[in-house]
Amino acid sequence: MSHLPTEQLADLTVHSNSEAREGLVPPSPAPSSPRTRRHYSIDTELVFTETTDQYRSSSTPIYQTATFKQESLSNMGEYDYTRSGNPTRTHLERHLARIIGGATRALTVTSGMTALDVITRLLKPGDEVIAGDDLYGGTNRLLKYLSTSGGIVAHHVDTTNVDAVRAVVNEKTAMILLESPTNPLIKIANIPAITALVHEKNPNALVVADNTMLSPMLMAPLELGADIVYESGTKYLSGHHDIMAGVIAVKNNAIGDRLFFVINASGCGLAPFEAWLLERGIKTLGVRLEKQQHNAQLIAEFLESAGFKVRYPGLKSHPQYALHWAQASGAGAVLSLETGSVPLSERIIEGTHIWGISVSFGCVNSLISMPCKMSHASIDAKTRAERDFPEDLIRLCVGIENPDDLIDDLKTALIKAGAVKINNDGSLTRLNL
Ligand code: PLP
């Protein structure tokens, strides 16, 4: 029986076994198996997986093959072509469906941006999309492309303000994209409230949450009401900055089938070796993130006590502290600070040694960056100014090193840059610019 919507089935041109089968049987990989066994806590689920491997291998083998031989002309077997499905990818996807709160199916693709690309292919010309005004630069770039070349109307509003969202939702709204915390201004979107209002005003609109900043370990947007959650597996899930990957999860298998159709049609499913590396990374997500958060909290407190404006939801001074903790179980490991001067920020960044000057986050190594010149440079300066984006903003993405070493390295860079002076008792005083 087909799981594809009829209008999409009508579009299918039959070229190969995998495509021929789409109309007859569930797509491969089949939707994740129902939760028949006991569900353990997430830190157990991250490492506990079951397979049907013939040799009971502890690590799922990498099926580094493009094709699978059929047993006979009439018996196609579970897999025929890796673009459509591969056992290493299936194992990963079923594991993800267990650890992503509220998910019934997970799909893996070649990057976080690919995940969003696949999701936005559910849109058609004339559809309206609501997205934040402090959103990842790549998301902004893709939406701009869809607005200029795909007939999509994109509204950028402050999605951390429920009333701003309420003002733009209408019957043409097909999708709303949420990030929380936002990157890099660390603002919090009220996911349950926005989801409820969007669904009330337009039940067909899909609420899509980018959970890259927190990972399934710290937040479950599907349980908060979102229809689709995606994240860059390049970040916390893999944890070592050695692969690119994207993950999409849904709680409605009909939507999952439509997304799988796009992945199979365009050939952007995650390759077996990357799937294996991502699966390996997921097993240490719990311990990595716990240490990263612990370090991030100490660093945020150090910088705040030195007199800087620090944005981190682990600090009580965060204006949306209560909202964040009502929907997430941790503060994550990304924080940002303002120094008051672009050249000062540049000197601080260049004065660090352990902190790698790099885009991205979620790695075991600590990274420092200046978003307006790096990850968010694709948002032009005028738009950044309109969105109150501080040009001097420094983003810190905290790793698993010793926190004293990280703080010492920052302290040295702050002193060398002329941002603070050290007092006789070892405390720091912020210098006026
Ligand atoms: N979402 C967020 C919040 C990100 O920061 C990024 C990348 O930095 C992406 C999505 C895109 O992920 P990828 O780089 O894996 O395509």
Cβ neighbors of 8 (< 8 A, separation 6 or more) are 258, 261
Q: CB burial class (10 A; 0-12, 13-18, 19+) of residue 147?
A: middle
pLDDT (tens digit, 9 = 90+) per residue, 275-320?
Answer: 999 999 999 999 999 999 999 999 999 999 999 999 999 999 999 9
| Distance from the alpha carbon of residue 31 to the mean position of ligand 1, in angstroms | 25
- pLDDT of 1 > 70? The answer is no
Asked whether residue 51 falls in the same domain as residue 122, the answer is yes
Percent of the chain with pLDDT over 70: 92
Asked whether residue 184 falls in the same domain as residue 226, the answer is yes
Give long-range contacts, CB 8 A cutoff, 24+ apart: 197-200.
Answer: 197/162, 197/165, 197/166, 197/169, 198/165, 198/169, 198/173, 199/225
Residue at a domain's end among 282, 304, 320? 282
Q: Which residues pair with 337 in a beta bridge?
A: 310, 394
- Quote the domain boundaries for residue 197: 6-282
Instruction: Write down the catalytic residue from 83, 89, 98, 288.
Output: 83
| Distance from the alpha carbon of residue 406 to the mean position of ligand 1, in angstroms | 25
CA angle 365, 347, 430 (to 5 degrees): 100
Asked whether residue 43 falls in the same domain as residue 95, the answer is yes
Residues 275, 279, 281, 286, Cα dihedral to 10°: 150
CATH code: domain of residue 191: 3.40.640.10
Asked whether residue 244 falls in the same domain as residue 96, the answer is yes
Asked whether residue 312 falls in the same domain as residue 276, the answer is no
Nearest atom (ligand 1) to Cα of 115: 16
Q: Please report whether residue 135 resides in a domain.
A: yes
pLDDT (tens digit, 9 = 90+) per residue, 54-91?
Answer: 888 889 899 999 999 999 999 988 899 999 999 999 99
Instruction: Write down the catalytic residue from 105, 235, 311, 384.
Output: 235
Active site residue 291: no
Asked whether residue 134 falls in the same domain as residue 51, the answer is yes
Q: Tokens 């610019």 correspond to what residue?
A: 433
Q: CB burial class (10 A; 0-12, 13-18, 19+) of residue 199?
A: middle
Q: Please report whether residue 352 resides in a domain.
A: yes
Asked whether residue 156 falls in the same domain as residue 276, the answer is yes
pLDDT (tens digit, 9 = 90+) per residue, 3-17?
Answer: 333 333 333 333 334
For ligand 1, atom 15, the nearest C-alpha belongs to: 112
**Which protein residues are within 6 Å of ligand 1, measured from CB?**
111-113, 136, 138, 179, 183, 210, 212-213, 232, 234, 244, 246, 360
Asked whether residue 72 falls in the same domain as residue 168, the answer is yes
Q: Please report whether residue 57 resides in a domain.
A: yes
Per-position DSSP letters for 144-198, written without gaps between them: HHHHHHS--EEEEE-TTSHHHHHHH--TTEEEEEEESS-TTT-----HHHHHHHH
| Distance from the alpha carbon of residue 352 to the mean position of ligand 1, in angstroms | 24
Asked whether residue 14 falls in the same domain as residue 68, the answer is yes
Rounded distance between C-alpha atoms, residue 215 and residue 289, angstroms: 9
Residue at a domain's end among 253, 282, 311? 282
Asked whether residue 69 falls in the same domain as residue 177, the answer is yes
Active site residue 312: no
For ligand 1, atom 4, the nearest C-alpha belongs to: 136
pLDDT (tens digit, 9 = 90+) per residue, 382-402?
Answer: 888 887 889 999 999 999 999
Residue at a domain's end among 282, 312, 336? 282
Q: Please report whether residue 1 resides in a domain.
A: no
Asked whether residue 217 falls in the same domain as residue 76, the answer is yes
How far is it between the farthest Cα atoms of the chain?
Answer: 83
Rounded distance between C-alpha atoms, residue 276 and residue 394, angstroms: 34
Active site residue 83: yes
Asked whether residue 265 falls in the same domain as residue 358, the answer is no
| Distance from the alpha carbon of residue 26 to the mean position of ligand 1, in angstroms | 30
Q: Please report whether residue 347 resides in a domain.
A: yes
Residue 357 is inside which H or E element, if any? strand 356-357
**Count of the separate structural domains present in the chain:** 2
pLDDT, greater one: 37 or 18: 37
Look up residue 4 and give its DSSP letter.
Answer: S
Active site residue 210: yes
